[in-house]
């Protein structure tokens, strides 16, 4: 394993970009809402950030707790909670940075998407950074098959809740948020489209 990979793990390249821009610094607390196995947390744990995380998958939470025991053994296991992002038990406005990476496109419908988004936003401090990466229709509008409730079948065969630019603009306004970057969308070999949405609360 290279020294860079050891330090940063499999961090999302667009999250790494936020680090390079100086928007995430060591005194800031991090909450990964829908953390999965913790791919985006390696650097923050290793560098002694105050890290919390939630996921509805028990295997994911156990993986993150194991990672934390190795990289940040002083963090309590209660920082890593088995719960869905729409019903997290962390206090409101408790994190300076909230990560939502490849999470919101698992919404079942509009109401579920909004609950997940608002649940993630609730725990973000005023002035905090919201980093979100999620599947969208942007750039592949003619290649996705509409199902129902804004769910689509993608060319890669998966089914996802897909956002578009007007929906993200609507929620940016509804949240009274400030966009920090223009929307950035990556199309992966015409199989799926991933959009990065970065806001200041």
From first to last of its 201 residues, what are the pLDDT tens digits of the chain? 578 888 888 899 999 999 999 999 999 999 999 999 999 999 999 999 999 999 999 999 999 999 999 999 999 999 999 999 999 999 999 999 999 999 999 999 999 999 999 999 999 999 999 999 999 999 999 999 999 999 999 999 999 999 999 999 999 999 999 999 999 999 999 899 999 999 999
Q: Helix, strand, coil: what percent of the chain each, to 5? A: 35, 30, 40
**For residue 163, what is the DSSP state?**
B
Alpha helix stretches (DSSP H) within the chain: 3-8, 13-20, 42-46, 58-71, 110-122, 165-174
pTM equals 0.95
Which residue do the tokens 């390696």 mark?
42
Nearest CA to 131 out of 30, 25, 8, 4 is that of 30
């Amino acid at each position: 394993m290279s020294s860079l990979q050891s330090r940063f793990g499999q961090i999302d390249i667009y999250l790494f970009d936020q680090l390079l821009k100086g928007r995430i610094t060591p005194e800031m607390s991090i909450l990964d809402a829908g953390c999965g196995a913790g791919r985006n947390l390696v650097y923050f744990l290793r560098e002694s950030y105050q890290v919390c995380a939630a996921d509805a998958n028990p295997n994911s939470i156990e993986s993150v707790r194991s990672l934390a025991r190795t990289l940040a053994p002083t963090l309590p296991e209660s920082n890593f909670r088995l719960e869905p992002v729409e019903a997290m038990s962390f206090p409101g406005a408790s994190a300076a940075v909230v990560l939502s990476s490849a999470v919101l496109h698992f919404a079942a419908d509009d109401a579920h998407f909004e609950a997940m988004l608002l649940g993630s936003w609730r725990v973000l401090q005023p002035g905090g950074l919201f980093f979100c990466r999620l599947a969208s229709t942007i750039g592949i509008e003619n290649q996705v098959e509409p199902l129902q409730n804004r769910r689509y079948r993608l060319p890669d065969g998966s089914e996802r809740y897909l956002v578009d630019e007007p929906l993200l603009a609507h929620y940016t306004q509804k949240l009274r948020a400030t966009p920090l970057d223009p929307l950035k969308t990556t199309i992966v070999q015409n199989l799926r489209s991933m959009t990065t949405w970065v806001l200041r609360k």
